[in-house]
Copies of this chain bind each other. A is one copy, B any other.
Amino acid sequence: MTGQVAAPDRVPTRERIVLAAADLYRRHGYTGTGMKQVAADAEAPFGSIYHFFPGGKEQLGEEVIRRAGGMYALLLPAVFDPAPDPVTGVRTFFTLAGEHLKASGWQDACPIATVALEVSGTSEPMREACAEVFSGWVQAGTERFTAEGLDPEQARAFTLAIVSALEGAFVLARALRSTEPLDAAGEALAARAAELFGAS
């Protein structure tokens, strides 16, 4: 009977910090994002960051990567479950990614990819966090495509190709300010899917 109703500031401070950092990472990267800016965007006092993340910038970065990775993992079933077949699923995945990127003013790239490129040679804990996120995506895709009829090796290789193409197309699309790379990559992978799954 503690009277837990939805409070006005329903999002806890710690959560706001993680969300704000995730948003900044995909716009400016890890090294380009300052802790003061995170605090400002999260509307949290500066000291609260070090209260919740005593490990500092690196600990915050690790958690942001894992959390963002988990959220993006939800997109896989969200797109593929309603799709009539894997070929359509692949094409839709790339199309939606392009629409979202364009709608954000070419700002919202994938935070994991940016951070992975920046810190893979600098911070081993963060590199491992990125690796675990990618591994999780690949494993989820492998299981799905295996269930849809591919043998596990094929399924894993195809998933790796999809994730790679998606991340790379994001890079080009963001720089070129065009969805063309995402459309082209999606088309190529959809054709590969048609070949693998034997559909048209």
Q: A144 near B: Cβ within 8 Å? A: no
Interface of A is mostly: helix
Number of copies: 2
Does the CB pair B163–A127 fall under 8 Å? no
Q: A161 near B: Cβ within 8 Å? A: yes
Does the CB pair B28–A171 fall under 8 Å? no
Chain B, Cβ-Cβ closest to A104:
B121
Chain B, Cβ-Cβ closest to A127:
B175
Q: A39 near B: Cβ within 8 Å? A: no
List of B residues within 8 angstroms of A188 by Cβ: 157-158, 161, 165, 188-189, 192
| Interface stretch of the complex, out of A11-19, A79-87, A108-116 | A108-116
Choose one: B27, B114, B158, B165; the contact of A164 (CB below 8 Å).
B165
